[in-house]
Amino acid sequence: MKLTCLSTTGGGGSYHSPASHLLELEGLRFLLDCPIDLTALADFSPVPLTGDAGGLIRAVPRYLSPAAAAAAKVGGIDAVLVSSATGVLGLPFLARLPGFAHTKIYVTEVAARTGKLMMGELVEMHREFVRYYGPDTGELPRWMEGEKLNELLSMLEKAVTVDKGDDLTSLMPLYSPGNIEECMQKIQPVKYGEEVCFNGIFTLKASSSGLELGNSVWTIKGPRASITYLPSSVFVSAHALDFDYSSLKENDVILFSDLSSLNDMDVDNDKLDEHAMDETEHSLCRRSVLRDDGADVDEKIAFLCNNDDIKEEIERISYICSCIIDAIKSGGSVLIPIGRLGVILLLLELISEMLHSSSIKVPIFMVSETAEEIIAFTNALPEWLCKSRQEKLFSGEALFDHVDLLKEGKLFLFPHLHSKDLIAAWKEPCIVLCPHWSLRLGPAVHLLRRWHADKRCLLVLEQGSDAELCLKPFMPLAIQVLECSFLSGLRTEKIDTLLGVLKPKFVMLPEGLKSRCSVKGRPWSFLYYSKGKTIELPNLQEDFEVHLGTDVAHRLQPRKLNETTAVARLRAKLHVSSGQYQLAAAEKQSDQSKRHLLHWDAVDPDRLLPALQEKGMVCSFAADDDSSGERSVLITSPGEALVKITSDRTVIYCDDERTSGHIFDALSRVCNGI
Amino acid sequence: MAIECLVLGAGQEVGKSCVVATIGGKRVMFDCGMHMGYHDRRHYPDFARALAAWGVPDFTSALACVVITHFHLDHIGALPYFTEVCGYHGPIYMTYPTKALAPFMLEDYRKVTMDQRGEAEQYSYEDILRCMKKVIPLDLKQTVQVDKDLVIRAYYAGHVLGAAMIYAKVGDAAMVYTGDYNMTPDRHLGAAQIDRLKLDLLITESTYAKTIRDSKHAREREFLKAVHKCVSGGGKVLIPTFALGRAQELCMLLDDYWERMNLKIPIYFSAGLTIQANMYYKMLIGWTSQKIKDSHAVHNPFDFKHVCHFERSFINNPGPCVLFATPGMISGGFSLEAFKKWAPSNKNLITLPGYCVAGTVGHKLMSGKPTRIDLDKDTHIDVRCQIHQLAFSPHTDSKGIMDLTEFLSPKHVILVHGEKPQMAFLKERIESELGIPCFYPANNESVSIPTTDNLKMSTTERFITSCAAEQGKQSLRKRNLIHGTGTSEVNGCDEAAVEGVILMEKHKAPKILCEDELAQVLGMERHLVQFEALGSSGIEEAVELEFKRAEAADLGSDGK
Ligand SMILES: [Zn+2]
């Protein structure tokens, strides 16, 4: 088993850009997630251009080629396991590679659907650049040549966390709708808990990770090891089905790929942007911590599944809502370019509730290509929702409040800012939810241009990307900026307890968490991975398990070699299905003119004679030309045969199958062999 | 091992489906239905008798779980009785739609029977709610570990929203219980879909064991024609249905037709029930057909345009209309009330479902052309209205049953949910055409099915790879990457057989090795044995010579 970490986290934090790995198992190559890294996008100026654009590149943006593309070029990829909609977004870059031609992509139905919408929307928003500058012909753009590039490089290196290894010239044009379609064709959508068989010997199963609708943890069961691929997970969610950790118990290896806590550390240290308002107080003190190592399983589970995280999340979102209300009250509009489905759904519910209780009537607009479809389908997927929302189905209520908001005319959905009906419905102040969090694409760019100088207005930004760089093309700013972080994965304090419940043998942990997870006295061993490196885990077990049909077993003819050992020859057909090797009965033995006799004692012609006679055969030694060391035994009854024996070979000349069978049998008895 | 199969209901009849299969010692109850044709103790499966036979104190310890296939009362009707009156507290599984919609069916029926017959209440509304609270919802294809040994999985069955076929497995023993299913898609549901599983037993419904149906289109046209003819002649159309399932399908059909023909005649639902049910359907759109799923972002097909608000008094109004009324087989309730009012006029039309349970008014109307229905001693209804029997049914026809059976190729088949003579006919076909032993036990009979067992053994990597090389002349792992769908992918079943050796040592698990590996492990030597024809090539003379010599020697010895 080999693991290569292809990327840790790109622009936008672990939610928008989860880690990506290459896992090699039994000679097959699995790609685990393939996000798009939008880091480079920040260096391009949004269109239409206004002012000096802060020195940003004025061209059709290019995007960092996913590390998986290189892996696909080198050794091909047999299968892709995707854990979230964001983990699909980089795949169209691989669509045309020969090493990707026969690849199968496994992803939950919901993540596939959301992912497809997100990719479509990205391409659509990107098109705005193409309309402005003309198409990216695929040739090296001017800004990537010579002097100009060097100039940019120095600026970018300062501003963007482009790794040293990434060559800026490896930036490539965005994929096309055709590429997306090609990718979608390779997708096999799955449900939570559905076991799919890959290549006969692997069983793959997605279970919910709790972070987002359709996000999943994967179990890969191979013939000799079971592996958990554990991306960012949330124990209790306010919208998605809870983290189904119990389905991961006792898998041999855990690939721990929840890198959200690595970001957390940065967040804690980060100073807030000068335009930002004070962030919610950290309520660390209220978080319960399980200190006792001797806690039993129930206590551990209670600790893992307490509501602290989700309570905090709701508090955070409520705080955002109160800021929104303040802005509205002062007459300003609110722009929310947040790209998290779960947060959007919760925000809609909480804002409308707060607007209602403060008896404020302002319209909420969702302006996005995908808004209509997202809103429709989120109310039609009860199986993917948290238990409390499932209860709504069983009691006949709508799954999310947005159904009523739409009906009551409080929420409006439009595909674009220039949609026909938008003008008619448009009223300010208003609350707008729209893409894109990078502030380079989508309606957010235009709305921020409209409101950036109004100090009554509010911009709600997600933490995770460089706010200063994000806001650069909109300077000078008067609009208030609220930067928020959201629940993105496991808290580090819970990792050890989780491992205690899951009981793995090995844990692959990001290097960055090395100091934060105790090794002492734990029954599992840690292996640490870091970006670009390959770590190897020897086989946990040398042998494979096969299932032997009872019909095959009944036909076995064991031979006892001594008091403690017996052996039997086996002739069967090997079938592989549902991750199982099955030996089934083979038809009649085919004619064999040669076979090997495995023997313990010497093949002694002198003992063969009595053995044959015992079987009622009439036989004798023929005159030998002893020089060659060859002895011949002549059988005359029943049937005729001649047996020539040397130290390493016996030839049985006989026309009658039964007789030759008897002779072989006698021979094997003599030498204690089979 | 064996699968012991006890048929508690729907054995050689339709109604109160209930089968308890004991798989490797685990008892699973499939469906827990009621019989709508009876109002005595035959109404429910004979649970007490089964319990006595098992020799356990209570149902909870007797059963590993109960699985319900769909929300029809003949499959779920006895469940509240079983949990709240008989006291079963173990796990109950059903799909999300079934869990959401079943309370409607149960409550609707409970009310009908109480209003009509004043029967002693078998269970209350609260019982229904308490019962449904205990239900664990299932998603399709999700593999659910009920306990350490028992695994169940639901597959799409068509039939009604949320209907599932259930796969159950303990160790190597596996079976499927189909519930009701449809092998052809209808207006709002897809066709049944299942993986090619390895099964010891298939228990299938056989409602239409002998019938083969023609095109659905023609049957739909016939229905629309009859309805259109009636309303254009000023008549009223009564469509008795249950609140869920057929009601939605027929309504989609009519709504569409009304739109196309620009008809203004009102369509009514007799109860708010059906209207509310439509809202559930909207949330459960993922369980409808692919066609609807693909298009619903634009228009939800359960938003019916031509359905009007209804009040009970409307049945006395003049003028044409179409009314959907519950229950489906006119066994009571509002459909009976409307029937009483409308049956005497020859302008009106009553549609009947494809199947009606014996004892219901629907069943009486179906058998022959009665001009009078005697409800009880004192109530008689003259029947002059048109009767249109709906020829489309959400059940598979005989071809579908044969197709599914052939596709799954189980080792044994048990037929339930059908009528005895037709079942006998189908059993013959399954045994003669497919060569699979088939049974159709009566209620309270049981059948024991032997299952195949496997031995588990470890083997070396060398053996596996040499098999692969032998079979495919290519490494198994890289073999062309045949990607299967679902769990039943079979790979590498070339006909070539492989050879190995099983090593059995005392106090050790047996292990399969390659020949040379065994030689190495045990320190054995290899000796090549060659088989040649006696008369082959150059040695012939030599052999001949040897024989002569031997003969001479024999003669010599004889001479002595
Ligand atoms: Zn049914």
Find chain B residues with C-beta within 8 A of A369's C-beta: none
Regarding whether A55 and A200 lie in a shared domain, the answer is: yes
- Residues near A450 by beta carbon (within 8 Å), at least 6 away in sequence: none
Regarding whether A207 and A179 lie in a shared domain, the answer is: yes
pLDDT of amino acid B559: 42
A33 falls within a domain: yes
- Residues near A179 by beta carbon (within 8 Å), at least 6 away in sequence: A92, A93, A95, A96
Find chain B residues with C-beta within 8 A of A599's C-beta: 524-527
Say if residue A227's pLDDT is above 70: yes
Q: For the domain that residue A643 is a member of, what is the CATH number?
A: 3.30.160
How far apart (Å, rounded) are the C-alpha atoms in residues A160 and A293? 42
CA dihedral A440, A442, A443, A447 (to 10 degrees): 0
A28 in B contact zone (CB under 8 Å): yes
Q: Helix (H, G, I), strand (E, B), or coil: what is residue B367?
A: coil
B550 in A contact zone (CB under 8 Å): yes
What is the CB-side half-sphere exposure of residue A150 using CA atoms within 13 A? 2
- Residue A509 near residue A527 (C-beta atoms within 8 A): yes
Q: Helix (H, G, I), strand (E, B), or coil: what is residue A188?
A: strand
How far apart (Å, rounded) are the C-alpha atoms in residues A316 and A463? 13
Ordered DSSP codes for B290-307: HHHHHHTTT--TTS-SSE
Using the 3D structure, point to which of A466, A484, A502 is the last residue of a domain.
Answer: A484
pLDDT of amino acid B56: 92
- Residue B137 near residue B96 (C-beta atoms within 8 A): yes
B144 in A contact zone (CB under 8 Å): yes
Regarding whether A206 and A125 lie in a shared domain, the answer is: yes
Q: Helix (H, G, I), strand (E, B), or coil: what is residue A250?
A: coil
How far apart (Å, rounded) are the C-alpha atoms in residues A290 and A300? 8
Nearest CA in chain A to B539: A653
pTM to 2 decimals?
0.87
Torsion sign, CA atoms A311, A315, A320, A322: positive
pLDDT of amino acid A250: 87
Regarding whether A524 and A608 lie in a shared domain, the answer is: no
- Residue B112 near residue B335 (C-beta atoms within 8 A): no
Find chain A residues with C-beta within 8 A of B162's C-beta: none
User: Model confidence over A442-461: pLDDT tens digits?
Assistant: 999 999 999 999 999 999 99
A436: preceding bond cis by omega (within 30 degrees): yes
Cα–ligand 1 centroid distance for B78 (angstroms):
14
Regarding whether A398 and A273 lie in a shared domain, the answer is: no
pLDDT of amino acid A302: 83
How far apart (Å, rounded) are the C-alpha atoms in residues B533 and A654? 5
Angle at alpha carbon of residue A464, lines to A307 and A289, rounded to 5°: 30
Q: Minimal Cα–Cα distance from A394 to chain B, Å? A: 5
Q: Tell me whether residues B529 and A652 touch, CB distance under 8 A.
A: yes
Q: Select from B394, B10, B7 the least CA-distant residue to B201.
A: B7
pLDDT of amino acid B372: 84
How far apart (Å, rounded) are the C-alpha atoms in residues A518 and A293? 11
Give me the amino acid identity at A19: A
Q: Tell me whether residues B532 and A651 touch, CB distance under 8 A.
A: yes
| A 652-671 residues inside an 8 A Cβ radius of B | 652-655, 660, 664, 667, 671
Q: Tell me whether residues A27 and B477 touch, CB distance under 8 A.
A: yes
Nearest CA in chain B to A594: B530
- Residue A602 near residue A671 (C-beta atoms within 8 A): yes
A228 falls within a domain: yes
How far apart (Å, rounded) are the C-alpha atoms in residues A210 and A217? 9
Regarding whether A520 and A443 lie in a shared domain, the answer is: no
| A 97-116 residues inside an 8 A Cβ radius of B | 102, 104
Give me the amino acid identity at B213: R
Residue range(s) defining the domain that contains residue A451? 313-484
How far apart (Å, rounded) are the C-alpha atoms in residues B106 and B435? 41
A660 falls within a domain: yes
Q: Tell me whether residues A593 and B485 touch, CB distance under 8 A.
A: no
- Residue A292 near residue A302 (C-beta atoms within 8 A): no
Report residue A594: phi and psi, to 5°. -135, 140
How far apart (Å, rounded) are the C-alpha atoms in residues B232 and B242? 26
Cα–ligand 1 centroid distance for A588 (angstroms):
48
Query: Which residue out of A653, A655, A674 would a mutagenesis test of the B interface target, given it has the greatest number of B Cβ atoms within 10 Å?
Result: A653
Nearest CA in chain A to B137: A383
> pLDDT in tens for each of the 560 residues of chain B?
899 999 999 999 988 999 999 999 999 999 999 998 787 888 899 999 999 999 999 999 999 999 999 999 999 999 999 999 999 999 999 999 999 999 988 887 887 776 655 555 678 899 999 999 999 999 999 999 999 999 999 999 999 999 999 999 999 899 999 999 999 888 788 999 999 999 999 999 998 888 877 677 788 888 999 999 999 999 999 998 877 777 888 888 898 899 899 999 999 987 666 667 778 888 898 898 877 777 766 567 777 888 888 888 888 888 999 999 887 788 778 888 899 999 999 999 999 877 777 778 888 888 877 888 887 778 888 889 998 888 777 788 899 999 999 999 999 999 999 999 999 999 999 999 999 999 999 999 999 999 888 888 888 888 888 777 665 544 344 443 333 333 333 444 445 677 888 898 888 888 998 888 888 888 888 888 888 877 654 555 666 666 676 666 665 554 44
User: Model confidence over A554-589: pLDDT tens digits?
Assistant: 888 888 888 888 888 888 888 887 788 888 877 655
β-strands A649-654, B2-9: how paired? unpaired
Say if residue A162's pLDDT is above 70: no
For residue B390 the two structure tokens come to 């709906």
Burial group, residue B481, by CB count within 10 angstroms (0-12, 13-18, 19+): middle
Maximum average pLDDT range among A76-90, A621-635, B447-461: A76-90
A207 falls within a domain: yes
| B 382-441 residues inside an 8 A Cβ radius of A | none
Find chain A residues with C-beta within 8 A of B535's C-beta: 655
Regarding whether A177 and A52 lie in a shared domain, the answer is: yes
Q: Tell me whether residues A558 and B502 touch, CB distance under 8 A.
A: yes
* Rg of chain B, C-alpha, whole Å: 31
Q: Tell me whether residues B489 and A383 touch, CB distance under 8 A.
A: no
Q: Select from B436, B403, B404, B439 the least CA-distant residue to B424.
A: B439
Neighbours of A628 (CB within 10 A): 9
Using the 3D structure, point to which of A593, A614, A630 is the last residue of a domain.
Answer: A593
B283 in A contact zone (CB under 8 Å): yes
Torsion sign, CA atoms B512, B517, B520, B523: positive
Query: Which residue out of A570, A588, A607, A631 would a mutagenesis test of the B interface target, given it has the greatest number of B Cβ atoms within 10 Å?
Result: A570
Active site residues of B: 205
A285 falls within a domain: no
Query: Which residue out of B156, B465, B475, B483 would a mutagenesis test of the A interface target, given it has the greatest number of A Cβ atoms within 10 Å?
Result: B483
| B 436-455 residues inside an 8 A Cβ radius of A | 452-455
Q: Tell me whether residues A640 and B500 touch, CB distance under 8 A.
A: no
Q: For the domain that residue A446 is a member of, what is the CATH number?
A: 3.40.50.10890
Q: Tell me whether residues B460 and A396 touch, CB distance under 8 A.
A: no
A304 falls within a domain: no
Q: How far is CA B454 from CA A200, B206, B495, in A?
A: 18, 32, 21
Q: For the domain that residue A106 is a member of, what is the CATH number?
A: 3.60.15.10
Q: Minimal Cα–Cα distance from A221 to chain B, Å? A: 13
Say if residue A24's pLDDT is above 90: yes
- Residues near A594 by beta carbon (within 8 Å), at least 6 away in sequence: B528, B529, B530, B531
| B 467-506 residues inside an 8 A Cβ radius of A | 467-468, 471, 475-479, 481-506
CATH number of B218-390: 3.40.50.10890
Residue at token pair 């507290």: B89
| Mean pLDDT score of chain A | 85
A458 falls within a domain: yes
Q: Tell me whether residues B99 and A373 touch, CB distance under 8 A.
A: no
* Rg of chain A, C-alpha, whole Å: 34
For the domain made up of B2-212+394-450, give the CATH fold: Metallo-beta-lactamase; Chain A (3.60.15)
Cα–ligand 1 centroid distance for B292 (angstroms):
22
A424 falls within a domain: yes
| B 212-241 residues inside an 8 A Cβ radius of A | none
How far apart (Å, rounded) are the C-alpha atoms in residues A448 and A443? 9
- Residues near B456 by beta carbon (within 8 Å), at least 6 away in sequence: A545, A546, A547, A548
Residue at token pair 């599992």: A524
Q: How many domains does chain A have?
A: 4
How far apart (Å, rounded) are the C-alpha atoms in residues A82 and A108? 8
| A 471-530 residues inside an 8 A Cβ radius of B | none
pLDDT of amino acid B507: 85
Q: Tell me whether residues A376 and B297 touch, CB distance under 8 A.
A: yes
Residue at token pair 């479809």: A373
User: Model confidence over A270-311: pLDDT tens digits?
Assistant: 333 333 344 344 433 344 555 555 667 788 888 888 878 888
**Where along chain B do its domains lie?**
2-212+394-450, 218-390, 458-482+496-552
For residue B97 the two structure tokens come to 């739609």
Regarding whether A607 and A588 lie in a shared domain, the answer is: no
Regarding whether A114 and A203 lie in a shared domain, the answer is: yes
Give me the amino acid identity at B437: P
Say if residue A244's pLDDT is above 50: yes
Our measurement of the distance from residue A274's CA atom to the centroid of its chain's CA atoms, rounded to an integer in Å, reads 37
Nearest CA in chain A to B549: A622
In total, the C-beta contacts within 8 angstroms joining chain A to chain B are 311
User: Model confidence over A307-364: pLDDT tens digits?
Assistant: 788 888 899 999 999 999 999 999 999 999 999 999 999 999 999 999 999 999 999 9
How far apart (Å, rounded) are the C-alpha atoms in residues A159 and A187? 36
Using the 3D structure, point to which of A518, A536, A554 is the last residue of a domain.
Answer: A536
pLDDT of amino acid B477: 42
